[in-house]
Structure 1
Amino acid sequence: MEPLPLDDRGLAYGDGLFETVLLRDGQPLLWREHLARLQRGAERLGFTAPDADTLRACCAEAPAGLAVLKLIVTRGSGGRGYRPPDAPSPRLRWQLAAFAAQPERWRDGVRVRHCRLRLGRQPALAGIKHLNRLENVLARGEWQDDAIAEGLLSDSHGQLVEATCMNLFWSRQGRLETPRLAYCGVAGTLRDALLSKLAISEVEAGPEALLDAEAVWLGNSLQGVWPLVQLDAAEGACLRRWTLDAHHRLLQDAGHALLGYPAIR
């Protein structure tokens, strides 16, 4: 594959989309959800996504076992400044790499913190996985302690949205909930699949909702589902701890069944 030219709009402006797909022995998991999100994103940005057969061919040289396929689709080159070309020629690039999940985080749970950064609201980009992820980069730069697995992001109105690279779920008064992503955030493919299988309500809620939760989880289509055992403030103080029990395995079991990961007992 040739490198991206300097005038590629994805490189210059983040004008494009990407997907990270878990493969098991060359077979893509949640493939329908990944294709659907890529199509939604291309329609939103105003160019044509590669067809399904072209994308499926990127899996052909995957190694045995678990692997990750990263797909990047840019608008291509052309246009003048920010003005996009009248007839875009999208450019596809991909990469395959071996992958190993982190089963200790499935089993033992994770410690997370709130981030200071607030996501800006932009409904035109909400839900899609576009290439401009500078907010996530800045948020992830807030901590270097490896004991903290993730950071939670709220938006400029103080509403919970997601973690830096995972979606957020919780159980409150026996009801499964996840943030509504109408204004910002990435609608993860595992999130989409879980919404179609479980009674999960999309809600607008502030960080205080987590203090009342019986269980909290983070999940994505690569790592599976991590239960939370500790939540810290951005300043470092512990806000809440959870003891893992059978209740914490319910959402995890459903997510892992979709990815071929084991149930944890």
Structure 2
Amino acid sequence: MADEPLPFDDRGLAYGDGLFETVLVRDGHPLLWDAHLQRLARGAQRLEIPLPDTQTLASLPGQVGAGLFVLKLLVTRGSGGRGYASPASPTPRLRWRCMPFTPQSAYWRDGVRVRLCRLRLGHQPLLAGIKHLNRLENVMARREWCDADVAEGVLCDQYDRLVETTSMNLVWQRHGALETPDLTACGVAGTLLAALRQRLPIRTREVGVEALMEADAAWVVNSVQGVWPLRQLDDAEGACLRRWTMQDAQRYLQRHAHPVLGYPHDVFDEA
């Protein structure tokens, strides 16, 4: 079903008992579609939620016309059960919505300012990597600032190790190597990050904010917005910790990522 209301007893509404995917669709063609479906399937296996049939899922992007859209899929366990107890034989619900989309192209060119969040992500390996519906940590982290010039908040775990930003993955270049945080205990394993790791030698690291302080270039990435270079990192009070000059090094990841999404990859030349 399309964007229809959920009943009051739906477990996704009541408990966040479900999954979601957000897919960029260009002229009816879903980008990184297989990777999104694979992550959805991993999440369904972890949560033990039966998925809608693949034919139903495959038909959704084709219902979008010409242009750039974002398709959001929601799969909940459905209704039933008593309290937290799940129904023995759940009847999952699928909801979806397509919305026209315009990417933040100025962020591609000019880079973004980000800040450290006070909130720390808790470890839960069972839920790590998947896009489950309970995103309260991200919601509370995003409430930490209202400055329109700050594009994202950098999240660390309970041991002060880098994980991600509120809605994107982190990648940086340090000592000549590309690195990204380890996501086995918490965080979302992004589909664009996965595509980049198939193309580039990006190493997984358990490190703190010092890695960003030492980075020659750093980026936040996801499969909808593409790649935003970092131009400034602030602490949780808004004081600047590090600045980067927008130059050729900051274009590197865009050259590999943006063709996957149909975005321009020489955007700095447009300045």
For this structure pair, what is the TM-score category when the shorter chain's length is used for normalisation? Answer: over 0.9
Q: Which of 162, 165, 177 is equivalent to 1:163?
A: 165
Aligned residues: 265
Partners of 2:12 and 2:78 within 8 A in 1: yes
Aligned partner of 2:250 among 242, 248, 260: 248
* Cα root mean square deviation, aligned: 0.9
TM (normalized to structure 1)? 0.98
Q: 1:51 Cα deviation (Å)? A: 2.6
Deviations 1:161-210 (A, max 9, x none): 00000000000011000001011000011011111111000111101110
| Alpha-carbon distance between aligned partners in 1 of 2:134 and 2:254, rounded to the nearest angstrom | 30
Equivalent position of 1:50 in the other structure: 52
Take 1:3 and 1:136, find their aligned partners in 2: how far apart are those partners? 24
- Residues 57-114 of structure 1 deviation map (CA, whole Å, 9 limit, x = unaligned): 1223213110000000001111111011111111100001100001110001011000
Q: Is the 8 A contact 1:20 1:68 kept in 2?
A: yes
Partner of 1:257: 259
In structure 2, stretches of 5+ residues that fail to align are none
- Say if 1:63 and 1:98, in contact at 8 Å, map to a contact too: no
Contact 1:75/1:88, CA 8 A, preserved across alignment: yes
What pairs up with 1:39-118 in 2 under 5 angstroms? 39-118=41-120
Matched with 2:196 is: 194
Letter in 1 for 2:84: Y
Contact 2:29 2:62 in 1 (8 A): no
Write the distance in 1 (CA, Å) between the matches of 2:19 and 2:105: 29
Q: Provide the C-alpha distance between the structure 1 equivalents of 2:245 and 2:6, rounded to a whole number of angstroms.
A: 48
Alpha-carbon distance in structure 1 between the residues aligned to 2:65 and 2:158: 42
> Residue 173 of structure 1 aligns with which residue?
175
Q: Which residue of 2 aligns with 1:122?
A: 124
TM-score scaled by length of structure 2: 0.96
- 1:217 is matched with which residue? 219
Q: Is the 8 A contact 1:16 1:75 kept in 2?
A: yes
- The answer on whether the counterparts of 1:191 and 1:220 sit within 8 Å (CA) in structure 2 is yes
C-alpha displacement at 1:247, in angstroms?
Answer: 1.4
1:24 — aligned with what?
26
Cα distance, 1:49 vs structure 2: 1.4
- Whether the 8 Å contact between 1:169 and 1:178 is mirrored in structure 2 is yes
Secondary structure of 2:186's counterpart equals coil
How far residue 52 of structure 1 moved from its aligned partner, in angstroms, is 2.4
Counterparts of 2:54 and 2:225, CA distance in 1: 24
More divergent stretch after superposition (76-85 vs 44-53): 44-53
The separation in 1 between residues aligned to 2:218 and 2:61, in whole angstroms, is: 33
* 1:48 shift after superposition: 1.4
| CA shift for structure 1 position 47 | 1.5
- Partner Cα separation in structure 1 for residue 53 and residue 205 of structure 2: 34
Q: Secondary structure at the match of 1:43?
A: helix
Counterparts of 1:94 and 1:46, CA distance in 2? 20
Paired with 2:198 and 2:75, the residues of 1 have a C-alpha distance of 27
